[in-house]
Chain A
């Protein structure tokens, strides 16, 4: 069997986190009774006219800037004409053309397998309106819910020839893009709810061939994993088609999550003629350079750059840095703790370990001062009482040897529920680590006296038994004895 190279073009649609729809004042939301967030404009009633949502335009411009795009200082909306029941006006307002989309010719860096980065070229970032949703009615027949119709939708398309060549890269691209959108606050990135949708175009060609194969487009992918699996499946399916002497058909295929396979949806025999033309109901957009520069100034450090910085600056592992930047507020929490003088590695360990576990168990979020709860369209989460200052305090207590890490864990649990500072708890409960020489000597001697058996074993060469003996000392000191000192003293006394 010949070896095949995979090429993946990525088309991502992201619903923008605006309060109102693209061309009317209707609220943007998820779920709810069908056709309750509609008006003459988004229903396309005769005579209704669109008024563009400026916030949506700014969100797309900011995304384009974050993706290093060229900005179309003069840009227009086009009408894309076709008939479909979920399309109330018989056309979708979108953007067409090489250099007309708000952003074009950009890049997005994704993590490479060697720990470096790989640059994926972006073809365009444009703004359009979402369509309604077809629904099958319980009594048979179908209906259309137009709640989603007119929601601002950003489309981000990678360039051709495709830079993405593996299922992992397809997943990584999507993850990075989602993070960028979350960092910019322009999309809530909920793939399972469809607020971010990805349609990869997959083709294969024999190794050495310069010609790209016929592509298939994959729909219904609602998780990163399904994107990865879908690309993998299509690669395999297409190579089997070719190996068995067949020909890959250009078509749209659906992904079946339960069978982990794709199925043919519709063939794209001929390119549909959408008869794009500038929408005469909307005036052409023009942006001044100064206003674009103002928007550029609002672009935060992007997640991958941040991750690499944490690795370089603080010596964190790729994994740990990745967990920190995986949520903007989590990274903000970390940076504030480090800013307050917390040791970066220790802060990271406490955050990604015990604090994250506690948060997950309780469904809370931890925020640095001044951070707002990330606004999506769901219910807001409860904010944890633990702040960066708590973690810094905890790290200091451990670092200075005042408490051992076992006590620290208990303290974090306590601080998590009470909100009290760990150092205050230490004082109140008398939990300070005992480094008193006399106390440790005395307790070690006592444990040796009470455990003649293990002591005998140690002396006959079973060095491992020292762990048990140290443990006994810790137990009798309620975990407060300095473990390093206990260890040293134990060896000393046993060696006598």
Chain B
């Protein structure tokens, strides 16, 4: 079945003319039509546009101008700006907004000849851990229709796990790619901050946000990263370095790999099944010649607290533009401030309003030093701790999520518990270093993700290590129980 192929396999079959791009696109559109009413991964599908792009891709293939992913379908998180296609951030405040411009990553996908299937669901404005905060629908985990897929890139993860798309793009501010990748049993990769342009990504926490790929294999994720990464003059925080290279991807093995396991990530907060799966995986790696050492990273204990000051502070400012004046929804009110208040009060969801208020408070005169400034200092300490660890180790590993996929509604009464789930993923955003989740085992028949963190800018080495680990582990990617 075409939809079960990896992106690399699909691309190879396209290049050898074994299949056509339209045929591949149609297979995915058919599966979306059949299964997405259940999965609810997509907010927008546009079959005509998809097929037109597939035809164009086929022409490039026929002309011998195909790149590594030409003709391969992709799904895009709905907080990435797409010209002519609604971009809602799963929020009522952006309902009906159709951007007049493409994000840089979207332009690069087009240049690389990928075929877009549509826009995927997310926690409203990427604020959430479970995927339940979308204003429009709750995406289901292909591993169990009563389970959450994880968030905030819920739709992008579920689409790849559910074989609705071989590839997708998500965004990650505190774990929004790696958390759902872990819960859905696929690969999710957050590149080094600045390696993928943020131009066109609707900002949540600008200093933390990073676009990244989902795939069912490390190779697929790496190929997609290669296609969308690289310097962008439209993003001042973009790094002036070449795109992520996949050239040496398959060269490495785990022998001699120096792996650090911070004790702080293996404590009480971690579900026993998750801990066992991770330990079993690490045992395999040890047997294959990797060195695993326990270390201490004391600052991660305050990571979540720190994150929930910095991210909301930036969000409170980033989301100020949604005032109902220029685009999106508007609720009537008395005068300008009346319109702004009723629009924001009426159209933002609860979690978004909560974070805007927390962030506004943290930036207020008299509190700025105690909260925002202090949080930035802690952030620097945390980044330095990891930097020190990376001088001695190739990887810092941990569970990606402390728990496996849980029932929809299971934690929604306990917002703090939900936020604490970001414990392991947050440091990579704080320190800007690359971080990736791969399936490493199963607990209660649900996937467990292993989080691999590498030093800033060393994305190629991280991907190479991940590729080698993926090969070494006997309990890697598995198809969810689905049609």
- Given A81-B363, A277-B363, A280-B206, check contact A46 B235 (CB 8 Å): no
> Which one of B79, B237, B326, B336 contacts A281 once the chains associate, using CB atoms below 8 Å?
B237
- B442 to A: closest C-beta gap in Å: 37
- Surface stretch bound by A, among B99-107, B261-269, B444-452: B99-107
Minimal Cβ-Cβ distance residue in B for A281: B206
A43 within 8 A of B: yes
Contacts of B390 in A (CB 8 A): none
B412 within 8 A of A: no
Residue interface bits B233-267, CB-to-A below 8 A is 1, else 0:
11111000000000000000000000000000000
B372 A277 Cβ-Cβ under 8 A: yes
B97 A46 Cβ-Cβ under 8 A: yes
A83 B233 Cβ-Cβ under 8 A: no
Q: Which of B85-128 contact A (CB under 8 A)?
A: 87, 89, 94, 97, 99-101, 103
A465 within 8 A of B: no
B236 A275 Cβ-Cβ under 8 A: no
Residue from A46, A48, A85, A275 with most neighbouring chain B CB atoms (10 Å): A46
B323 A273 Cβ-Cβ under 8 A: no
Binding site for B on A (CB under 8 A): 40, 43-52, 79, 81, 83-85, 88-91, 144, 273, 275-277, 280-283
- Given A45-B327, A90-B317, A91-B320, check contact A85 B336 (CB 8 Å): yes
- A55 to B: closest C-beta gap in Å: 16
B100 A40 Cβ-Cβ under 8 A: yes
With the chains together, A209 CA to B206 CA distance in Å?
Answer: 50
- Given A81-B363, A83-B340, A280-B207, check contact A47 B103 (CB 8 Å): yes
B201 within 8 A of A: yes
B326 A88 Cβ-Cβ under 8 A: yes
- A265 to B: closest C-beta gap in Å: 15
Minimal Cβ-Cβ distance residue in B for A274: B365
A43 B202 Cβ-Cβ under 8 A: no
Minimal Cβ-Cβ distance residue in A for B359: A275
B202 A46 Cβ-Cβ under 8 A: yes
- Given A81-B317, A275-B317, A282-B236, check contact A49 B364 (CB 8 Å): no
- A415 to B: closest C-beta gap in Å: 52
Minimal Cβ-Cβ distance residue in A for B101: A40
Minimal Cβ-Cβ distance residue in B for A39: B101
Contacts of A49 in B (CB 8 A): 198-199, 234-237
- A276 to B: closest C-beta gap in Å: 8
- Given A45-B327, A49-B199, check contact A277 B320 (CB 8 Å): no
Q: Which of B313-328 contact A (CB under 8 A)?
A: 313-314, 316-317, 319-323, 325-327
Residue interface bits B329-344, CB-to-A below 8 A is 1, else 0:
0000000110010000
Minimal Cβ-Cβ distance residue in A for B198: A49
B236 A52 Cβ-Cβ under 8 A: yes
Binding site for A on B (CB under 8 A): 79-81, 87, 89, 94, 97, 99-101, 103, 198-203, 205-207, 233-237, 313-314, 316-317, 319-323, 325-327, 336-337, 340, 360, 363-365, 368, 372
With the chains together, A83 CA to B339 CA distance in Å?
Answer: 11
Contacts of B79 in A (CB 8 A): 47
With the chains together, A51 CA to B363 CA distance in Å?
Answer: 24
10 A-B pairs with the lowest CB-CB distances in the bound complex, closest first: A90-B320, A280-B206, A275-B363, A280-B207, A47-B81, A47-B200, A46-B202, A90-B321, A47-B202, A89-B321
B336 A46 Cβ-Cβ under 8 A: no
- B465 to A: closest C-beta gap in Å: 29
- Given A90-B317, A90-B323, A280-B207, check contact A48 B236 (CB 8 Å): no
- A127 to B: closest C-beta gap in Å: 15
- B3 to A: closest C-beta gap in Å: 30
Contacts of A50 in B (CB 8 A): 236
With the chains together, A40 CA to B100 CA distance in Å?
Answer: 8
Residue from A40, A49, A90, A277 with most neighbouring chain B CB atoms (10 Å): A49
B317 A46 Cβ-Cβ under 8 A: no
A277 B101 Cβ-Cβ under 8 A: no
Minimal Cβ-Cβ distance residue in B for A144: B325
B87 A91 Cβ-Cβ under 8 A: no
- B75 to A: closest C-beta gap in Å: 18
B313 A277 Cβ-Cβ under 8 A: yes
B236 A51 Cβ-Cβ under 8 A: yes
With the chains together, A232 CA to B284 CA distance in Å?
Answer: 85
